[in-house]
Chains A and B, each alone.
Chain A
Amino acid sequence: MFIMLAIERKTNMNTEKGISDKMIDEIIEKHKGKPGALLSTLEEVQENNPFKFLPKETLVTVAKKLNIPYSQVYSVATFYSFFNLKPQGKHSIIVCRGTACHTKGSKELLDDIYRSFAIDDKDRESEQSFTTPDNLFTVRTVACFGQCAQSPVVEVDGKIHSNVNSRKLAKILEDVKKEDAKKSDLKDKPSN
């Protein structure tokens, strides 16, 4: 079932843009002329992309419509870690690497995650975030969530889990997968 899910997502990926030009136009129109138009446009365009990222074509469209040099749009899109230039996984895992979490073992948690997804050390070094080849998970780190009292913390799909250890983490990820499987079963039924 995981495989089926992956295939379905791959097919979507072939559309590359993931968001229609019309929608980009509408978003641009909304922000045009206002201060910080570029930032708010990029933010909303990314939010509306099913893979939560900014493809090259999208940046070109935004640059053209807002009449901003391409290089400058790229500069902004690469400066903020909020913006993604690659398709993001269906689920996001954010490991806090702030001082408190670090002292409580967040490095080991991160290593566990990488190991469980068989992510190469080399890839980790060169990327700010990493997405599994099946596009299910994107792993990234932040400097601090401000939840130091409950360190180490890991955010999965927007939910913060506190006092995480390796066992707890494995369980969380297992639950995510189970949930996916359940949804996929439901989806499959009518077609049967």
Chain B
Amino acid sequence: MKITVNHQPIEVDKGMTIWQACNSIGINIPSLCYFKDISANASCGVCVVEVKGVQELLRSCITEVTEGMEIITDSPRVREARKVNVELLLANHPEDCLQCDRNLNCELQQLAFNLGIHEKRFVRTRKEHVNKDETSLSLVRDPEKCILCGRCVAVCEQIQSVKAIDFSGRGLKTKISTFWDTGLGNSICINCGQCALICPTGAITERSAINEVWDELHDPEKVVVVQTAPAVRVGIGEAMGLPYGSLVTGKMVASLRKLGFSKVFDTNFAADLTIVEEANELIERIENKGTLPMITSCSPGWIKFIEHFFPSSLPHLSTCKSPQQMFGAIAKTYYAEQAGIDPRNIVVVSIMPCTAKKFEARRPEMSDAFRYWKEKLHLSENEHFYDVDYVLTTRELARMFKEVGIDFSNLPEEEFDSPLGVSTGAGVIFGATGGVMEAALRTAYEVITGSQLTNVDFVAVRGMKGIKEAEIDLNGTRLKVAVAHTLSNARTLLEQIENGTSPYTFIEVMTCPGGCLGGGGQPIPTDEEIRLKRAESIYLEDKNKPIRKSHENPEIQYLYRHFLQKPLSEKAHHLLHTHYVERGI
């Protein structure tokens, strides 16, 4: 199809929108509500263009090109219209950029700057001030900063199939709310934070724990240890000014030491531990005809999703805790004993690419270390502590680095501390969709067959396809497995289970697109292209690891020999396994 853009003739595909056609020749039309593949609501009115023969300006995000269309994207009329539309949005937007979490990383702020808006011309039309929604343990919503673009509603519905939120009210009273406006914390919101990632302003942010962590770091009584999830090392560099997907493990470790953490440990260690437990659980279920398919349980958004929407499928979930929670339980029992530290004085801080982890850490059942010590140390209920004390997102950690002026890119690389910082390539790939599956297969294969795996790369479960399938030959036993990322894909696999047509033995589910590397706590922006770069780095780190199978991790082997005895032991059950609750909708 032949069209012209700013008098330049180009050839584009039928069905393309004006926005896409312009984008294909390097013209990025600004927009606040449009987000590739997720939302095109035509609500912000910023992406308008002029089309010859059409009197009014057209919204490029929803208008398809037609043969011979003559598009103008930069005329004075277009520029003025965009400017006025943004000014109108700003009329009802608070002027507190300096206090905002999204300061310097806000699409509205950037656009106001780009369009040359220097004064506030229009008065506020919204009469009431709406309070923040602080009911959630993971996320905070500030309706005052919301520009009603609808991206969050779209991502919640289309990517996650949760639909916790929608527009409510009308006219000036329009806002985004949960059912009956009870707040995210009292709703079916699964805390994934994809809405925070896609929000063009500071209307949705993680519930910050930065101040609490600073306080702990400066408390001389406390031994503050930190664990970093696999996906943080491929994301944090971006927030520190490095290219997308930069692999910065060593610099991240060095920076964490500079913040004052006593020990810099790795969630990857706990990921290896998860694999050993989970692979053995799978084998046990296969041998004892337990509930199959077994589904992974590392992703807390996914856990809350199944608890709300598919409670009858809960027996399919692996009972293994997530690596974050295994780490907390081990740090406050095994490590406390090894290092001779009173568990009450250990503070476990997690750095996660995830907002749902904040919720997970506060699940009432996640205080197994306290229960472990309760009798031994005669602890009273008042001394109750969680296995994981604080969870920071990748974004929050970057803010802490910046606050103390860490020269991230020039910092020499450092290594994680022993013993809870020793990990394998299998641990790191937890950060990408398919990674838990691949890591589990590397271990399950060797445990079941008793023979050495020559090629550890299960490439069939890698990549960004929504649902991936593979069939693995374990000495004659053929194992059908599936991997899903995003909950709308997970829903498909669950529906198969519920109507009895699921052909699989083992299923991996990750809540966020691309797995944890695309998590709701990762740097903004996060999009498809960026996720691919982060995934490349994850698999690079795996490839470069001398040990690539979880059960070969020497510190894991030592942990079993001297503390847990064997996989699925009674002690392992107490500390590393959990149970789930039916939540209903």
Contact = CB atoms under 8 A, between A and B. Distances in A.
Interface size class of A (residues with CB under 8 A): 10 to 19
Interface in A15-64: 56, 59, 63
Contacts of A56: 180
Contacts, number: 45
Interface range on chain B (Cβ under 8 Å from partner): 20 to 34
Contact of B170 (A63, A71, A74, A79): A79
A20 B558 CA distance: 64
B169 interface: yes
A73 B165 CA distance: 11
A88 B94 CA distance: 35
B13 to A, nearest CB: 33
Interface in B150-186: 157, 163-170, 173, 177-181
A75 B167 contact: yes
Contacts of A79: 167-170
Which 9 residue pairs spanning A and B have beta carbons closest together?
A: A70-B179, A69-B163, A71-B166, A75-B166, A78-B168, A74-B179, A71-B179, A78-B169, A79-B170
B163 A72 contact: yes
A11 interface: no
B188 interface: yes
A81 B178 CA distance: 19
A125 interface: yes
Contacts of A81: 170
Interface of A: 56, 59, 63, 69-75, 78-81, 125-126, 128
Contacts of B128: 125-126
Interface of B: 127-128, 157, 163-170, 173, 177-181, 187-188, 585
A79 B170 CA distance: 5
Contacts of B164: 71
Main secondary structure of the interface of A (DSSP, over half): helix
Contact of B177 (A63, A69, A71, A125): A71
A75 B127 CA distance: 21
Nearest to A73: B179
Contacts of B178: 71, 74
7 contacts: A69-B166, A71-B163, A72-B163, A75-B166, A75-B167, A79-B167, A80-B170
A97 to B, nearest CB: 14
B123 to A, nearest CB: 17
B166 A72 contact: yes
A26 B169 CA distance: 28
Contact of B180 (A59, A69, A80): A59
B353 to A, nearest CB: 26
A171 B147 CA distance: 47
B156 to A, nearest CB: 9
Contacts of B167: 75, 79
Given A74-B177, A128-B173, 8 more contacts: A56-B180, A59-B179, A69-B157, A71-B177, A74-B180, A75-B167, A79-B167, A125-B128
Nearest to B156: A71
A78 B180 CA distance: 9
A17 to B, nearest CB: 15
A75 B168 contact: yes
A70 B170 contact: no
A70 B168 contact: no
